[in-house]
């Protein structure tokens, strides 16, 4: 078993194979072809599990029966096998999207039938946040308003080739970030600036202290203790917002909202970052 790379097994499982299926497919690739008895002896799997996995792999098109007596299977080449698995995932994704779009919420135990457009939901980990950022930017039709740390630059540089109205503020202490963004964003429709984290802290302390000067200094000292590398404030088409506070950890770190009144108010406040 040590001869089968476990990283490869994990990758195939992420593509939808069960562990036994992944092990059998990899073994058949290594052996070119093999009898069922050889697979059982090599992998140490039970006979029922082996036969069930072989039937599943054959249904998926990843292996073919090359001899009936004794029963012998051959794996399709890995480049073809990976294409088959990828196509299956993409097709399943599109099918699931269609089904989600036609869900009848009125059937759910008498609960409210329609979800409000003002709904708020939370994002729990960095991977899902990255997907949400890409999804929002990909579906933007008119405008993008963004205030974020430089770790998110990778997500929005592709916007330079669009006709969107862009209002982007990046806070960074790295002078190369500003030079890079000036080269990328040359359109008149793009307002892009890079400012220091200290300036952002000053603006946020001013906003959150309701302009009462006696509260600004202690609030600014508190804000400086936060992790601004994680902060992001993204508005797309003035219709949807994704906000990540300057916090660390794996808990709830973001919220997403569709409420035009709330978005307009929050955007107006954060525009002070540009005016400071």
Q: What is the pLDDT of residues 32-55, one digit of tens each?
A: 899 999 999 999 999 999 999 999
Give Cα 202 to chain centroid, integer Å: 31
pLDDT at 200: 64
248 neighbors 230 (Cβ within 8 angstroms): yes
Distances, alpha carbon 124 to alpha carbons 115, 127, 129, 236, 254, in Å: 21, 9, 8, 21, 7
pLDDT at 226: 63
In a domain, residue 128? The reply is yes
pLDDT at 99: 86
Does the structure show a pLDDT above 50 at 28? yes
In a domain, residue 213? The reply is yes
Poorest-pLDDT segment among 5-9, 99-103, 131-135, 244-248: 244-248
Does the structure show a pLDDT above 70 at 248? no
Q: Which of 46, 79, 112 is the C-terminal boundary of a domain?
A: 79
Poorest-pLDDT segment among 64-68, 164-168, 200-204: 200-204
pLDDT at 223: 52
pLDDT at 114: 47
Does the structure show a pLDDT above 70 at 29? yes
Model pLDDT for residues 71-92, shown as the tens digit of each residue: 999 999 999 999 999 998 888 8
Whether residues 126 and 70 fall in one domain: no
Helix, strand, or coil (residue 170): strand
**Cα distance between residue 90 and residue 10, in whole Å:** 19
Q: What are phi and psi of 63, to 5 degrees?
A: -135, 160
In a domain, residue 269? The reply is yes
Is pTM beyond 0.85 here?
no
Query: How many domains is the chain partitioned into structurally?
Result: 2
Q: Which of 91 and 125 is assigned the larger pLDDT?
A: 91
Does the structure show a pLDDT above 70 at 261? yes
If you average pLDDT over every residue of the chain, what do you get? 81
pLDDT at 41: 94
Does the structure show a pLDDT above 70 at 97? yes
The CATH number of the domain where 176 resides is what? 3.30.870.10
The CATH number of the domain where 15 resides is what? 1.10.10.10
Whether residues 240 and 164 fall in one domain: yes
Whether residues 73 and 169 fall in one domain: no
Give Cα 61 to chain centroid, integer Å: 29
Whether residues 136 and 266 fall in one domain: yes
Does the structure show a pLDDT above 90 at 158? no
Q: Which of 51, 79, 107 is the C-terminal boundary of a domain?
A: 79
In a domain, residue 106? The reply is no
Model pLDDT for residues 211-228, shown as the tens digit of each residue: 455 544 554 555 555 667
């Amino acid at each position: 078993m040590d001869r089968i790379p476990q990283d490869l097994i994990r990758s195939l499982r992420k593509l939808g194979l069960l562990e036994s299926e992944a092990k059998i497919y990899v073994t058949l690739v290594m052996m070119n072809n093999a009898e069922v008895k050889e697979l059982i002896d090599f992998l140490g799997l039970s006979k029922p599990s082996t036969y069930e996995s072989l039937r599943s792999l054959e249904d998926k098109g990843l292996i073919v029966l090359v001899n009936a007596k004794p029963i012998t299977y051959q794996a399709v080449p890995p480049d073809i096998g990976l294409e088959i698995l990828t196509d299956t995932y993409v097709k399943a994704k599109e099918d699931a999207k269609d089904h989600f779009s036609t869900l009848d919420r009125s059937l759910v135990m008498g609960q409210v039938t329609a979800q409000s457009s003002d709904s708020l939901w939370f994002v729990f980990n960095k991977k899902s946040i990255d997907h949400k950022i890409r999804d929002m930017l990909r579906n933007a039709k008119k405008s993008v308003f963004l205030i974020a740390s430089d770790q998110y630059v990778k997500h929005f540089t592709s916007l330079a080739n669009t006709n969107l109205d862009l209002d982007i503020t990046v806070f960074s202490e790295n002078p190369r970030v500003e030079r890079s963004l000036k080269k990328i964003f040359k359109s008149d429709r793009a307002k892009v600036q890079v400012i220091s984290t200290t300036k952002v802290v000053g603006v946020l302390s001013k906003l959150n202290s309701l302009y009462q000067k006696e509260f600004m200094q202690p609030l600014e000292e508190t804000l400086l203790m936060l992790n601004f590398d994680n902060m992001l404030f993204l508005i797309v088409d003035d219709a949807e917002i994704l906000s990540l506070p300057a916090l660390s950890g794996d808990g709830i770190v973001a919220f997403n909202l569709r409420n035009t009144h709330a978005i307009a108010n929050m955007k107006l406040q954060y525009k002070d970052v540009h005016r400071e």
